Amino acid sequence: PHFQNQWKKDREDGPIFQDRIEEIRQVRKNIASMNEEDQQQWTKLVSDVYRYESSPELRREAVMTLAESPLPDAEATIVKACTDRVEKVRIAACKALAKKKSDNAGRMLATVVQTDKSMSVKLAALNGLGNFNLPESRSLLRNALDEKSPAMQYEATLALKRMTGQD
């Protein structure tokens, strides 16, 4: 009862963390089917959540939501998220870019593979490169086959199969 009373009091003061997460997830489910004006409004609001939020979990949720927005402004924020200080946000950014179909998204994933210090982030970027049949993507994936890391080799193999449609 004590905690329930505290939660009720917290909600009276404003939205709590879980409510904010749920709202962002609701936008994610609906943004692709919204009219363009609503998409612009929500893309800006969710981009602002990414830019100004201190919570890595909320920033990650924002990036995942922006992946579903068809607007170029969404992709610009996702690209910024590729350099976030928190690994799970950068991983979400790589997964989000993999859903975009622009050459810029593919080039950014290639940059992440080459520059990020985290193996988990590099793996997410390698995975995403399989969605982009660009010369730099093919080259990076071929080079990843020669990496010492079996995880890098495996991810590069899967990405090349997806890119080429061949085993």
Closest CA to 66 of 107, 96, 36: 96
d(CA 41, CA 106): 26
Question: Which region holds residue 100: left if phi is over 0, alpha if psi is between -120 and 50, else beta?
Answer: beta
Closest CA to 81 of 72, 92, 73: 92
pLDDT at 94: 98
pLDDT at 10: 64
Torsion of the alpha carbons at 77, 80, 86 and 91, rounded to the nearest 10: 70
Please report, as a single letter, which amino acid is at residue 41.
Q
The series of mean pLDDT values per 10 residues for the chain, 167 residues long, is 66 79 96 96 97 97 97 96 98 97 94 97 96 91 94 95 87
pLDDT at 120: 98
d(CA 114, CA 121): 11
Contact (CB, 8 A) for 64 and 49: no
pLDDT at 8: 67
Angle between helices 56-66 and 87-99 (to 10 degrees): 0
d(CA 91, CA 125): 8
pLDDT at 33: 96
pLDDT at 16: 82
pLDDT at 20: 92
pLDDT at 101: 86
